């Protein structure tokens, strides 16, 4: 049986809470597993609780760069105490959008490096946020294992994509790829063994998605689009993505 994987979605976001039972049934029916990433300590607790409801939810816990001013001690202990129960560390990374002063940059970097160290300690994959910070992420990651690291929602240029491939990163593409020519071009130039797909819900999407919040049910459409771009059948693309997802997760 072939499974779909959403490599990056915030299912523990309040946006999904009222529909969770339906979503879990939908995931079971559509054969979709989800890497459920977290924003901060409290959200990580919610992710862990959500994962208890279904083995289709693969819990990632961490601190998003937007929340980097949060105390690192709590999330560190949570990882230590639950490393046998988590699938990965994330969402972690860098983002100058959330920087107001130099101290914020230092804090983001410290949190990012601390959580990368935990990922290496417990041999866990990482889901990395790299908006407007890809080159800085590359520099930091030269000191860490990149073989199970995902640059989620890859938004770099062709040279940065090649750098990511040279370093062994996975990169993921989401619903935007269905209507964005630049994303389609990047996909066509990505090492096929390093491609993943995601929704990043509850982010909202325009065009054909009518500004709807990202739903895990969008994944088959993303897979279909990728198959057309790469000249594969839908089944071939699904099998490739399943293999890549298992490789990223180390399973």
- Residue 213: the pLDDT is 86
Which one-letter DSSP state was computed for residue 104? Answer: H
**CA proximity to 10, closest of 153, 238, 215:** 215
- Which two structure tokens, joined as six digits, stand for 219? 């994944």
- Residue 221: the pLDDT is 96
List per-residue pLDDT tens for the chain, 251 residues long.
899 999 999 999 999 999 999 999 999 999 999 999 999 999 999 999 999 999 999 999 999 999 999 999 999 999 999 999 999 999 999 999 999 998 999 999 999 999 999 999 999 999 999 999 999 999 999 999 999 999 999 999 999 999 999 999 999 999 999 999 999 999 999 999 999 999 999 999 888 777 888 999 999 999 999 999 999 999 999 999 999 999 999 99
E strands within 62-192? 88-93, 126-129, 149-151, 170-173
> Which CATH number goes with the domain that contains 191?
3.20.20.140
The reported pTM is 0.97
**CA proximity to 34, closest of 17, 14, 50:** 50
- Residue 207: the pLDDT is 80
The whole-angstrom separation of Cα 20 and Cα 22 is 5
Q: What's the structural domain count of the chain?
A: 1
- Overall residue count recorded for the chain in this entry: 251
- Residue 156: give the domain boundaries: 4-249
């Amino acid at each position: 049986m072939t499974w779909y994987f959403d490599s990056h979605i915030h299912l523990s976001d309040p946006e999904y809470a009222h529909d969770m039972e339906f979503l879990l049934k939908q995931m079971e029916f559509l054969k979709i597993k989800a890497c459920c990433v977290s924003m901060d300590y409290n959200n990580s607790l919610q992710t862990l609780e959500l994962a208890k409801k279904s083995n289709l939810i693969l819990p990632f816990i961490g601190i998003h760069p937007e929340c980097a001013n949060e105390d690192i001690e709590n999330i560190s202990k949570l990882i230590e105490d639950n490393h046998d129960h988590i699938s990965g560390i994330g969402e972690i990374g860098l983002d100058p959008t959330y920087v107001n002063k130099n101290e914020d940059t230092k804090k983001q970097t410290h949190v990012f490096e601390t959580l990368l160290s935990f990922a290496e300690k417990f041999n866990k994959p990482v889901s990395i946020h790299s908006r407007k910070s890809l080159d800085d992420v590359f520099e930091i990651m030269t000191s860490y294992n990149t073989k199970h690291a995902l640059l989620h929602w890859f938004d770099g240029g062709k040279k940065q994509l090649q750098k990511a491939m040279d370093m062994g990163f996975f990169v993921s593409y989401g619903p935007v790829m269905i209507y964005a020519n630049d994303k389609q071009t990047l996909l066509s130039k990505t090492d096929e063994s390093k491609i993943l797909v995601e929704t990043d819900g509850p982010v909202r999407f325009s065009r054909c998605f009518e500004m709807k919040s990202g739903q895990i049910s969008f994944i088959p459409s993303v897979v279909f689009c990728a198959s057309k771009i790469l000249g594969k059948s839908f089944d071939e693309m699904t099998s490739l993505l399943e293999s890549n997802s298992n490789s990223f997760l180390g399973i």
